[in-house]
Amino acid sequence: MIGADILFPTRAVLDCERQLLILKTNPEVFGSVPGFDRRGLRAVPIQVSDDYNLYVNGSVNGKPAKLMVDTGSFATLLHRSFVRRMRIATRETQYSSSAVNLKERGVRVALIRKLSVGSVDIFGKEVGVIDLEGLIHDGLLEPRDGGAPVAGLLGGETLRRHHGIIDFGTRTLYLR
C-alpha cells in the first residue's frame, strides 16, 4: 500500500481508468509527469485534510456536499443519515460492506438524480448507502461551521468510468 507520505512528495499521478501510477522519484528532473492527456477533462481542486484524506466539492441533487476520494472503495457510497435528511428513497440489497474502521453492514441503494463533482455532472447515478460514521470523523458528516457536510465516498467505479486522474503534485482531480 502506497500512502500520502510517498504520493505527495513524488508528485504522483494516478490514472484511475488505466490503473496506472507514475511517481517522480528524482526531484532533480525538470518537468511534470509525461503521458497524461488531460484534454476534455475538467479540473476539480482537491482539499487535503491533516490526516491526508482527499476531499472534493460537489453536490447531491443540488445540495452542496463534499466527497472523500477513495480509490480503494469499489463503489461510490453516501452516508445513510445524509440520504435520510435529503429524503432520498433507498431500496434493500443482498450486499454488505466492510472496511477499515467500519463494521460489516447492509448496503442499501439510492438513485441520485444529479451527482456533481466540481463542474462534472453525473445524472441518474445509483450509489450505495451505508453508515459511514466510523470512517468519516471529526463532525465532518454534520459540520457546525455551516460548511458543506462530507456526504460520502467517491469510489473507484465512478473514478474509472469518468476517466479520473488524481494529480498529487497539483492536488487536482481530473474527470470527464
State which residues form the domain around 175.
64-176
Identify the sign of the CA torsion 93, 95, 96, 98: negative
In this structure, is residue 46 part of a structural domain?
no
In this structure, is residue 23 part of a structural domain?
no
In this structure, is residue 56 part of a structural domain?
no
pLDDT tens over the chain, length 176 residues: 788 889 998 889 999 999 999 888 776 776 666 567 788 999 999 999 988 899 999 999 999 999 999 998 889 999 999 999 999 999 988 776 655 555 557 889 999 999 999 999 999 999 999 988 877 765 676 777 778 999 999 999 999 999 999 999 999 999 99
Q: How far is CA 61 from the centre of its chain?
A: 17
Cα(19)–Cα(107) distance, rounded to whole angstroms?
26
In this structure, is residue 85 part of a structural domain?
yes
Global confidence as pTM:
0.88
- Cβ neighbours of residue 160 closer than 8 Å, sequence gap 6 or more: 16, 17, 19
In this structure, is residue 72 part of a structural domain?
yes
Contact 2, 13 (CB under 8 A): no
In this structure, is residue 157 part of a structural domain?
yes
- Cβ neighbours of residue 29 closer than 8 Å, sequence gap 6 or more: none
Structurally, the chain folds into a number of domains equal to 1
In this structure, is residue 32 part of a structural domain?
no
Q: What is the CATH classification number for the domain harbouring 100?
A: 2.40.70.10
Contact 75, 82 (CB under 8 A): no
Cα(163)–Cα(174) distance, rounded to whole angstroms?
8
Cα(140)–Cα(68) distance, rounded to whole angstroms?
10
In this structure, is residue 87 part of a structural domain?
yes
* DSSP, res 81: H
